[in-house]
Amino acid sequence: MHRPFIVAGIPLAMCFAFAGCQTSLAPPSPTTPPEPWVREESANLTSPVQLTFPDRFVKAGEAYFSPDASMIVFQAVEQPTAGASPDDFYSMFVADLRQNPIRLENIRRISLPGSANTCGWFDASHPRRVIFGSTITPPSNKEAPGYQGASGRYKWQFPVEMRVVAVDLDATPGSDGSPEKPITLAGDGTAYTAECTTTADGRWLLYCSLASGQGDISVKDLTSGRVQPLVAMPGYDGGPFFSHSGRRLCYRSDRHGDSLLQVFVCDVVRDDSGSITLTRNERQLTANEYVNWAPYWSPDDEVLFYASSEIGHDNYEIFAVSTGASDGPPERSRITFAPGADVLPVIDPSGRRMMWTSKRGAVPSSQLWIADLVTPHPPSSGAAP
* Rounded Cα–Cα distance for residues 201 and 113 (Å): 31
Which has the closest alpha carbon to 304: 282, 285, 327?
A: 285
* Rounded Cα–Cα distance for residues 359 and 369 (Å): 9
User: What SS3 state is found at 33?
Assistant: coil
Q: What is the pLDDT of residue 266?
A: 96
Model confidence pLDDT, tens digit, residues 289-343: 999 999 999 999 999 999 999 999 889 999 999 997 666 678 899 999 999 999 9
Triad 337, 93, 157: Cα angle to 5°:
70
Q: What is the pLDDT of residue 314?
A: 86
Which has the closest alpha carbon to 194: 143, 120, 276?
A: 120
* Residue 320: count of CB within 10 angstroms of its CB: 30
272 dihedral zone (left: phi>0; alpha: psi -120 to 50; beta): alpha
Instruction: Give the pTM.
Output: 0.87
Which residues does residue 318 pair with via DSSP β-bridges, in sequence order?
Answer: 307
pLDDT band at 30 (very low <50, low <70, confident <90, very high): low
Has residue 11 got a pLDDT over 60? no
Mean pLDDT across 220-246: 95
Q: What is the pLDDT of residue 361?
A: 82
Q: What is the pLDDT of residue 31?
A: 58
Q: What is the pLDDT of residue 124?
A: 84
**C-alpha 236: how far from chain center:** 17
Model confidence pLDDT, tens digit, residues 118-154: 999 999 888 799 999 999 999 987 665 554 444 445 4
* Rounded Cα–Cα distance for residues 130 and 330 (Å): 34
Q: What is the pLDDT of residue 327?
A: 64
Q: What is the mean pLDDT of the chain?
A: 86
Which has the closest alpha carbon to 63: 348, 379, 364, 316?
A: 348
Has residue 76 got a pLDDT over 60? yes
Q: What is the pLDDT of residue 313?
A: 87
Has residue 278 got a pLDDT over 50? yes
How many residues does this entry show for the chain? 385
Of all residues in the chain, the percent with pLDDT exceeding 70 is 84
Has residue 364 got a pLDDT over 90? no
* Rounded Cα–Cα distance for residues 220 and 184 (Å): 13
Of all residues in the chain, the percent with pLDDT exceeding 90 is 71
Has residue 233 got a pLDDT over 80? yes
Q: What is the pLDDT of residue 116?
A: 96
